[in-house]
Every structure is written in C-alpha cells, then in structure tokens.
C-alpha cells in the first residue's frame, strides 16, 4: 500500500511528479481551505515533505496525528520545529547537497554585479542606448578593499574562501570568535560595517538576526559601501535600505532574498542602485538533482527501516 505524503511547501513540479511514482502526494499549498484539507487528510499522513525555507511547526504536526517522518527538501534548519519533532518521536531529514557552495558563488557574483554595475551595463547595450551615448557610470574595484561577512558558518566560510582570490581583506561578525580562523573578528556588526567597504550577509534568520542590518549599520557602511544579502530578507530593515539607496547613504545593494518575497516594495525594486535576483541561491541543476534524489532517498530509507542519508533527529538513526 502506498504511503501518504503531505506536501507542505512549493517545490519544483517535476520533483513532485517524481515522488508521485512512489507515494500518494497530498498538496497542502494547493488547498483553498488548508484547515479543512488537513482535517480531512491529516489522519492518513505518514510523512511530510517540505522545504527548508517553509519548514514545519507544531500546529502542522498537531494536525497530523500519525505522521512519523519529515523529509526536508533543502539544507536549511531555521524553519524546522525540531523540539516538537523530538517530543513526538518524529524523524527529520534534510538534503546535504552542497548548496552552501551554490549560495556562496551567487554571493560573489552579486558583489561583482553591484560593484561593476553589470545589470545596468547590460541594459545599456541591449536597449541600444550605447549607440547614441557613452557609458560613464563608475564602478568599484575589489582588490585592496575590506569585506565584512555576517556569520562565518558554512556559507560564510565558502564566501570568504572565494573572496580571497580578489585580494580582499576579510573580517567577520558572529556570536563568537572562531579559533581556527585568522580573519579579524568583530563582536559588533556596526563597528565591522564602519571598517568595511562591502558587507555580505550569510546568517540564518533568528530572533537575534531579524532586523540586524538597520539604519545605523547602513550609515556605518557609508556612501561608498555595498551590501550583499544572500541570507534571509528579514535580516535587513528594508525601509532603512530603501532610504539609504535613495539618499546615497550606501552606494549599492545586491539581494537574492527579500522580507516578503516574492513581493518586493516598489520603491526598493525601482532603485537603480539595487541588483536583485528572485531567491536563486541554490537554483543550479546539479544541486537540484541531488536534492530531488536525497529527499526521496530519506523517505525510502525511513520506511525501510534503514539509515537515512540526511538524518537530523528522531528514531531510526
């Protein structure tokens, strides 16, 4: 008999179709009345398939009295209520798919794009304006500059490793100093911003990081400073960022994430000092293929009573 899986997030349609070859998939996100939908299918659900961004919480698990396992499509942990899962004896897995490298590469690309106004230059050529006007907007070089990284975890370290090739001086901010790193450590993000030409955000969204990059930090970064956000949108005060871009408080910003995505405030998205992409940090074919396979492998291993490749917590380790 096929297992019943609750799909609790939006993931690529071809991945869902692949999982449907093995399980009965119930699409929560497609339900008009999600509460009624959960009341109907909840007791039949054996496992949850969700994304690292959307995750799961106690309310969802409470609506699924017989759920035994959660397979997270993605590597993020911040949206997962692991305490409730542990209390309920529910196994939780994710997909350790080297997405940190994909995100780090995008972060470097965004920094380069903002420093050299690459999207703007692309538009000048493609619009035909170059035929009648010269392009005079001055960019910013990387060599010899200082870059501050907010959170020197796996993504922050991957970013730092790649930026070393550009002859940048690297520093970092976080809750504690890393004894294995020679980079300068700051315990105050505002002071690091004041000392930096570029600020790259690599931190998770938590109570401590939400709104961390506020008007004071942007002012410290200064009118020649450039902000790159590959973390989470709510880490940045978007009103303060919009004002800083409009008034020239910072030179530019490059963002993969936004506070209420896919909705981005008009004032912010209309800024010619903003480089913006639609949350594509892990959107690489090789990463997504591995993620697709690992999410299924975790489900299959759990139901077979075998070790799960992306095990985080719960029984059947």
The average pLDDT across 187-201 equals: 98
In the prediction, which pLDDT does 79 show?
84
In the prediction, which pLDDT does 295 show?
96
Q: Is the pLDDT of residue 317 over 80?
A: no
Q: What one-character-per-residue DSSP string does the chain give?
A: -PPEEEE-S---HHHHHHHTTTSEEEESTT-SSHHHHHHHHGGG--EEEEETTT-B-HHHHHT-TT--EEEEESS--TTB-HHHHHHHT-EEE-----HHHHHHHHHHHHHHHHHTTHHHHHHHHHTTGGGTS---------TT-EEEEE--SHHHHHHHHHHGGGT-EEEEESSS--TT--SEEES-HHHHHHH-SEEEE-PPP-TTTTT-B-HHHHHHH-TT-EEEE-S-GGGB-HHHHHHHHHHTSSSEEEES--TBTTB--HHHHT-TTEEE--S-TT--HHHHHHHHHHHHHHHHHHHTT---TTEEESS--
CB 80 within 8 A of CB 279: no
pLDDT (tens digit per residue) in 237-253? 999 999 999 999 999 99
In the prediction, which pLDDT does 58 show?
95
In the prediction, which pLDDT does 186 show?
98
Task: Residue 295: count other Cβ atoms within 10 Å of its Cβ.
Answer: 26
Domain regions of the chain by residue span = 4-97+285-313, 99-276
d(CA 180, CA 155): 16
pLDDT band at 47 (very low <50, low <70, confident <90, very high): very high
Q: Is the pLDDT of residue 76 over 80?
A: no
CB 231 within 8 A of CB 254: no
- Helix 285-303 and helix 99-115: axis angle, to 10°? 160
Three-point CA angle 284, 55, 50, nearest 5°: 65
Per-residue tokens: 315: 């029984």
Task: Residue 304: count other Cβ atoms within 10 Å of its Cβ.
Answer: 10
CB 58 within 8 A of CB 18: no
- Please, what is the average pLDDT of the chain? 95
pLDDT (tens digit per residue) in 281-303? 989 999 999 999 999 999 999 99
In the prediction, which pLDDT does 28 show?
97
In the prediction, which pLDDT does 99 show?
86
pLDDT (tens digit per residue) in 140-176? 999 999 999 999 999 999 999 999 999 999 999 999 9
pLDDT band at 33 (very low <50, low <70, confident <90, very high): very high
- Catalytically active residues are 232, 261, 279
In the prediction, which pLDDT does 78 show?
77
In the prediction, which pLDDT does 210 show?
95
d(CA 94, CA 7): 15
Does 4-97+285-313 match 99-276 in CATH topology?
Answer: yes
d(CA 145, CA 168): 5
Query: Hey, what CATH class is 99-276 in?
Result: alpha beta
pLDDT band at 77 (very low <50, low <70, confident <90, very high): confident
Look at 42-46, 98-102, 256-260 and tell me which has the smallest mean pLDDT: 98-102
pLDDT band at 1 (very low <50, low <70, confident <90, very high): low
Nearest to 49 by CA among 297, 299, 282, 286: 299
Nearest to 259 by CA among 209, 192, 221, 200: 209
The CATH superfamily label for domain 4-97+285-313 reads NAD(P)-binding Rossmann-like Domain (3.40.50.720)
* Peptide bond connecting 262 to the previous residue in cis, omega within 30 degrees of 0: yes
pLDDT (tens digit per residue) in 196-227? 999 999 998 889 999 999 999 999 999 999 99
């Amino acid at each position: 008999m096929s297992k019943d899986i609750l799909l609790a997030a939006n993931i690529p349609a071809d991945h869902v179709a692949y999982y449907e070859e093995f399980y009965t998939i119930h699409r929560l996100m497609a339900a008009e009345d999600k509460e009624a939908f959960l009341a109907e299918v909840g007791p039949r659900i054996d496992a949850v398939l969700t994304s690292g961004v959307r995750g799961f919480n106690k309310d969802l698990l409470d609506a699924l009295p017989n759920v035994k396992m959660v397979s997270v499509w993605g590597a993020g942990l911040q949206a997962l209520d692991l305490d409730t899962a542990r209390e309920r004896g529910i196994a939780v897995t994710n997909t350790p798919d080297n997405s940190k490298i994909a995100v780090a590469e995008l972060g470097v690309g965004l920094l380069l794009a903002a420093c050299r106004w690459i999207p703007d230059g692309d538009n000048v050529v493609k619009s035909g304006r170059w035929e009648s006007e010269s392009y005079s907007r001055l960019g910013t070089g990387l060599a010899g500059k200082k870059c501050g990284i907010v959170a020197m975890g796996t993504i922050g370290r991957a970013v730092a490793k790649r930026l070393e090739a550009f002859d940048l001086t690297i520093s970092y901010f976080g809750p504690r100093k890393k004894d294995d790193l020679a980079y300068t450590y700051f315990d105050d993000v505002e002071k690091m911003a004041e000392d930096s030409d570029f600020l790259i955000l690599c931190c998770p969204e938590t109570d401590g990081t939400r709104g961390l990059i506020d008007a004071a930090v942007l002012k410290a970064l200064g009118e020649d400073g450039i902000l790159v956000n590959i973390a989470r949108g709510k880490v940045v005060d978007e009103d303060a960022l919009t004002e800083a871009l409009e008034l020239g408080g910072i030179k530019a910003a490059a963002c993969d994430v936004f506070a209420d995505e896919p909705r981005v405030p008009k004032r912010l998205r209309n800024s010619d000092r903003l480089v913006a992409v639609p949350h594509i940090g892990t959107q690489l074919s090789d990463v997504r293929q591995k993620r697709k396979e690992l999410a299924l492998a975790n489900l299959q291993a759990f139901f077979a009573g075998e070790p799960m490749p992306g095990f985080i917590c719960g029984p059947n380790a």
